[in-house]
Amino acid sequence: MLPYIILALVSLVLGSLTGIYQFYHLTYLSLGIPLAILYIHKQGMKNLVINRRLTQERIFSGESSQVRLTVTNGGRWPIFWLSYDEVIPHRLHIPPSKQGVSFLWPGEKITVDYCLDGNRRGFYTLGPLKIEAGDGLGFLEEKMIYETGQRLIIYPRLYPLEQLGLPSRIIYGDLVWPQKIYHDPGRVRAIREYQPGDSFRDIYWPGTASLGELLVKEYESTITIENLLYINLNQQEYQLKGLEPKVELAIEVAASIAHYLITHNQTVGLVTNGIDPLQGNQSIAPGQGLDHLMEIMELLARLELAEDAPFIPLLEEYRQYYSPGSTVLMITEIDSAELMEKSLDLCRRGLNLLIIVLGDQILHTEYLNRPYTENLVILSVEHKSLGREEDIYGRGA
């Protein structure tokens, strides 16, 4: 703009000195045209409407989501020149190079369609969309960044437990428990004589009236089985060979078990030493329902390997999640002596332990494939066992 202002001033001075009217015209032109262009440009940019729409914001690994990006001139003035550059994570899509248009007329729309390939699980942020606009003559140029924080979540694949080589029967439900810890008032076991200390709430009035002596109801003692999934994502406890497939397998096994348990109305929680780059979450308390499963799946989608995060201390750190009879399912690459020692300690505290080792190198083979009535069982899951079969929702591997 500055050269035009200087030109206007010079022509104004010349006009006043020489009295030639054409210099005044030049003054008007050199000021008027840039100002008009500036006004039109500002109006055009003010009414620029950008919209990015995804067909699906949550997909499973192996699926894709279509994106439609529209840039509309919603105002009454044209935009002289505009270029746009969409920033997309390379794992999802190789974005086209910077593109541009000259003259975006009022009401005109630019539509860009592209596909995001969910080849790898993750939590991806789309954008920002970088926009540059100007008059095309070099009077002015403006840069704009459009950010919506739209995200694409790619869940890990889910497999039937049989396909993973895991039992389809994991202990669950309410169990009668030998110790009188919790009474289930919905399940009366017997009627007996009143003893001092019994609650009046438990008196069985019809029986008391007919026999003429106080009778109380004796309830069943029950426990509700809770499941807690542990995933060991400490890089130091993984062999470097085939690291990525093993980590993905660990996540997929955890996701498949969580899906199985929730769809069978069980309670499940998740604890990991992996890194959640978004929220820093390392645990989800045991819960039920599909919303809870969604929370678990989102965390599993985000998880990454941690460089140095010991796994065994987590077993103590989250002991508030255990209740008597809980099942602890651990997914790890190695059944180290330290891990087994801790597991036996947990068994002595009344917990059921299921250690899922990734690969076939089992150190403590005496616990391998034991009957599921045992408190401590080791199972092995191998990546090759998945082959190219379909996952739980019928997608090929």
The letter for the amino acid at 319 is R
CB of 258 to other proteins, least distance (A): 11
**Closest of 197, 206, 204, 209 to residue 219, by C-alpha:** 204
Q: Applying CB under 8 A, does 181 fall inside the site for other proteins?
A: no
**Closest of 337, 332, 342 to residue 366, by C-alpha:** 337
The letter for the amino acid at 112 is V
Q: Applying CB under 8 A, does 183 fall inside the site for other proteins?
A: yes
CB atoms within 10 A of CB 380: 19
Residues 6+ apart with CB under 8 A from 156: 60, 61, 121, 248, 251, 252, 254, 255, 297, 300, 301
Q: Applying CB under 8 A, does 294 fall inside the site for other proteins?
A: yes
Q: CA 252, CA 162: separation in Å to the nearest integer?
A: 14
4 or 182, CB closer to other proteins? 182
Do 101 and 111 meet the contact criterion of CB atoms below 8 Å apart? Answer: no
290, 337, 344, 397: residue in contact with other proteins (rule CB under 8 A): 290
Q: CA 175, CA 171: separation in Å to the nearest integer?
A: 10
CB of 186 to other proteins, least distance (A): 4
Q: CA 69, CA 110: separation in Å to the nearest integer?
A: 8
Structure tokens at 50: 């950008």
List % helix, strand, coil for the chain (3-state, nearest 5). 30, 35, 35
Q: Applying CB under 8 A, does 302 fall inside the site for other proteins?
A: no
4 or 194, CB closer to other proteins? 194
User: Binders of other proteins: how many residues, by CB under 8 A?
Assistant: 32
Strand, helix or coil for residue 311:
coil
Q: Applying CB under 8 A, does 281 fall inside the site for other proteins?
A: no
Q: Applying CB under 8 A, does 250 fall inside the site for other proteins?
A: no
CB of 90 to other proteins, least distance (A): 24
**Residue appearing with tokens 């690459």:** 333
Q: CA 271, CA 379: separation in Å to the nearest integer?
A: 19
34, 122, 127, 286: residue in contact with other proteins (rule CB under 8 A): 286
CB of 265 to other proteins, least distance (A): 8
Q: Applying CB under 8 A, does 262 fall inside the site for other proteins?
A: yes
35 or 211, CB closer to other proteins? 211
293, 309, 315, 354: residue in contact with other proteins (rule CB under 8 A): 293
193 or 341, CB closer to other proteins? 193
Q: Which residues pair with 203 in a beta bridge?
A: 216
CB of 392 to other proteins, least distance (A): 8
Burial of 24 (0-12, 13-18, 19+ CB in 10 A): middle
Strand, helix or coil for residue 329:
strand
Spell out, one character per residue from 19 to 58, where the chain touches other proteins: x when CB under 8 A holds, - when not. Answer: -------------------------------------xxx
Q: Applying CB under 8 A, does 193 fall inside the site for other proteins?
A: no
Strand, helix or coil for residue 137:
coil
Q: CA 75, CA 43: separation in Å to the nearest integer?
A: 7
Q: Applying CB under 8 A, does 330 fall inside the site for other proteins?
A: no
**Residue appearing with tokens 């066992």:** 385
- The region of 127-135, 234-242, 286-294, 335-343 touching other proteins under the rule CB under 8 A is 286-294
79 or 161, CB closer to other proteins? 161
Site for other proteins in 203-232 (CB under 8 A): 205-206, 208-209, 224
Q: Applying CB under 8 A, does 285 fall inside the site for other proteins?
A: yes
Site for other proteins in 58-117 (CB under 8 A): 58-60
Q: Applying CB under 8 A, does 375 fall inside the site for other proteins?
A: no
43 or 208, CB closer to other proteins? 208
The letter for the amino acid at 335 is D
Q: Applying CB under 8 A, does 151 fall inside the site for other proteins?
A: no
Give the footprint of other proteins on this chain (CB under 8 A): 56-60, 155, 183-186, 201, 205-206, 208-209, 224, 259, 262-263, 267, 285-294, 297, 393
